[in-house]
Structure 1
Amino acid sequence: MEEIKFDWDQWNIQKNEEKHGISVLEAQSAFYDRKILIFDDIEHSSREARYICYARSAYNNTLMIAFTIRNKKIRIISARKISKKERNVYESRK
């Protein structure tokens, strides 16, 4: 498996830790979920292509992660625990 590379800015790290309780390591670990679901985030893609994924982290939380790809790295914009509606989508597509 090819190594997955990540890019964060300090503000997003702090925001996710404070607002959602999701650490950098937990958010990154979700990208190794073999059952990850990835969708185009058309609503937020006006300046660059953005994506949303639902995936289980190594901490056993199922997360919703908004991200983009820059310079061949995943740049995580936001990460939080999924809602009930999102969980239904994730569970039904496994």
Structure 2
Amino acid sequence: MSRIANVDWSTIEGFEWDAGNREKNRHKHNVTTKECEEIFYNLPLYTVKDIYHSANEYRYKVLGQTNTRRLLAVAYTIRGERIRIISARDQSRSERKFYEKTKKNTEL
């Protein structure tokens, strides 16, 4: 998780959803589309490049929290001016540790 990515958020105009991914996240991980989108508006938000899944397009993983402070890990790509969510789930133990440590050491 050491490759913090710099994403130009000023160019993003919204979200794009694939029906299959939307349902997969809901059924497999009990994560709603609303929760996925919320984390992009709540600080702190940490984005890392996903170099292992970026063969055809750049992919990223973001660690963030929902409005109810649920900690999520969301994989996404950027298509045009939209964020396209690929998958979402609760943060793993190591991701939570990284998130909390980085949050503690970062001034907002």
Per the normalisation by structure 2, the TM-score is 0.82
Q: List runs of 5+ in structure 1 lacking aligned partners.
A: none
Aligned to 1:66: 75
Deviation at 1:60, TM superposition (A): 1.8
Following superposition, the deviation at residue 4 of structure 1 comes to: 4.7
**Matched-pair identity in %:** 39
The structure 1 segments of at least 4 consecutive aligned residues displaced by more than 4 Å after TM superposition are none
Unaligned runs of 5+ in 2: 1-9, 104-108
Work out the number of aligned pairs and report it: 94
Query: What CA deviation, in whole Å up to 9, does each residue of 1:20-59 have, x standing for no partner?
Result: 0000001100101221000000000000000001000113
Could you give the per-residue CA deviations for residues 46-91 of structure 1, whole angstroms, max 9, x where no partner exists? 0000000100011321000000000110000001000111000000
Corresponding position: 1:50 with 2:59:
yes
Cα distance in 2, alignment partners of residues 87 and 15 from structure 1: 22
CA-atom RMSD in angstroms: 1.5
Question: In the alignment, which residue of structure 2 is the partner of 1:39?
Answer: 48
The 5 A counterparts of 1:1-94 are: 4-94=13-103
TM-score, with normalisation over the residues of structure 1? 0.94
Paired residue type of 1:15: K
